[in-house]
Amino acid sequence: MTHRIPVTALPVDDSPKDECGVLGLSTPHGEGVAQLSFFGLFALQHRGQEAAGIAVSDGKRARVHKEAGLVANVFTPEALAPLTGYHAIGHTRYSTTGSNADRNIQPFLVETMHGPLALAHNGNLVNAPALRDELLNRGFGLTATSDSEVLTLMLAAAGGQTWQERLERTLPAWKGAFSLVLLAADQVIAVRDPWGFRPLSIGRLPHGGHAVASETCALSTLGCVDIDEVRPGEMVTLMGAEVHRSQVLAPQPRGARCTFEFVYFSRPDSVWDGRNVHHVRQRLGVQLAHEAPADADVVIPVPDSSIPAAIGYSNQSGIPFNDGLIKNRYIGRTFIEPTQDIRERGVALKFNALRENLEGKRVVMIDDSLVRGTTAGPLVKLVRDAGATEVHVRITCPPITHACHFGVDMGHDGDLIAGHLSVEEIREHIGADSLAFLSLDGMMLAVAERESSDDDGYCNACFTGRYPIHVGDAQAKLSFEGVLA
């Protein structure tokens, strides 16, 4: 007998959250730099919906505008008007280290003895507590609870004649994931950690200058050509029409690209490691159909990130693909207290079921991940209530059993349902007729197009517990909040 989860509250979004998207650009003519930054960030909005910011420099002075909210709400024409200059960086945020308080919104902008310095960061340092303590012991005052502020102040205090020299002296102390962009008075600098955890790419702007961004989709939006990946351990300097690239840290022998960029985070039209994300997700679905077939009448995705995988599963299995769940893409975050009636409807605030496509049918429901298990049960119930006779859940990655310490908010080990329940127990918990996860080897075959049991250049620590960096000093997301309450 299956156990059903009562829907008693507004659903917690069970998707993993990436920390943010970063953007940097430099032009020789200085026309529309803030507007270009806006549209680049708009293309990265899926990576963070809590806050957004843009910092711009005209060669002497730097200005910043940043607020909580979506990119389109933060940057009105009035907000963009003062942001004039030749160089800019931008950030759209979901918090992993530090809360979503206004003090943690990026970019961080400080005045230094060498001129203005702004920084925006995607990733997470596992040694941030030790670095933070060192700054405090040296007499620095900290105003935020984010590891990104620690990076900013370390660079501001570093020795060296140029920002490149200061970066080279500081980088070896940073352990963990960082793809970051820096804004100085007359240039933009981008750098990526030697493990290559988080993506970062560079492209040439169509009317002169260059841009870097977390994903290629943002560069394509800006019309960039000659798009290339920033290599692990590489530093890129953008100065108007000039671009300089140098390898400042030796790449780690075993890279650690985050597989979740392919499974969930990245936009489907982005390219990373030479692979189109949509195509990889289709292969995940094909592999899942190989490993976990089902006798069913229709394959449906949990939109949006699972759509390519559901197409792949359908093509491989021969079971027709159709829409079964329609997503309200505009619900966002709400501060309106729901009525009890709305609260009890739970997941229906975010999804509606298409009865015409589900009634009387055996359904395969494809989802990209199952983290805390808070939405899978209500979704299964929603599909059943629409008349499905069977619901078979298929997940395009292995069970997530360990927390991420490199810039993904999955919760702690105790929050992860697969960390303390077996697959059969999870199936009972969510009320599905069957449940199957893609194997680690199957996932890597789809992602890297080769069989791999040793991660082979990718970080799979959330599935295996094998962290590429020692994480003994890593802190909880809100560990610095106790002091700056």
For the record, the structure tokens of 100 come out as 């979503």
Strand boundaries in 277-427, DSSP class E:
298-301, 325-327, 351-353, 362-367, 390-395, 408-409
Number of residues assigned to the chain: 485
Contact 40, 218 (CB under 8 A): yes
C-beta of residue 183 within 8 angstroms of C-beta of residue 57: yes
Backbone CA torsion sign across 421, 424, 425, 428: positive
CA separation for the pair 368, 307 (Å, rounded)? 9
Whole-number Å distance between alpha carbons of 101 and 144: 9
d(CA 30, CA 239): 11
Q: With H, G, I as helix, E, B as strand and everything else as coil, classify residue 236.
A: strand
For residue 442, the number of C-alpha atoms closer than 13 Å in the C-beta half-sphere is 21
CA distances, 264 to each of 215, 362, 368 (Å): 13, 26, 6
**What is the C-alpha to C-alpha distance for residues 19 and 234, in angstroms, rounded to an integer?**
21
Active-site position among 20, 217, 258, 462: 20
Q: Is 462 an annotated catalytic residue?
A: no
In contact, 428 and 2? CB cutoff 8 Å: yes
C-alpha to C-alpha distance for 251 and 345, rounded to whole angstroms:
50
Q: For the chain, first and last CA: distance in Å? A: 47
Give Rg (Cα) of the chain.
Answer: 23
DSSP element (H, E) containing 237: strand 234-239
Tell me 321's DSSP state: B
HSE (side-chain half, CA atoms, 13 Å) at 271: 12
Tokens 């597989």 belong to residue: 259
Distance between CA atoms of residues 265 and 13, nearest Å:
14
Which residues, 6+ apart, have CB-to-CB distance to 347 below 8 Å? Answer: 7, 11, 375, 378, 379, 382
The residues annotated with a catalytic role in the active site are 20
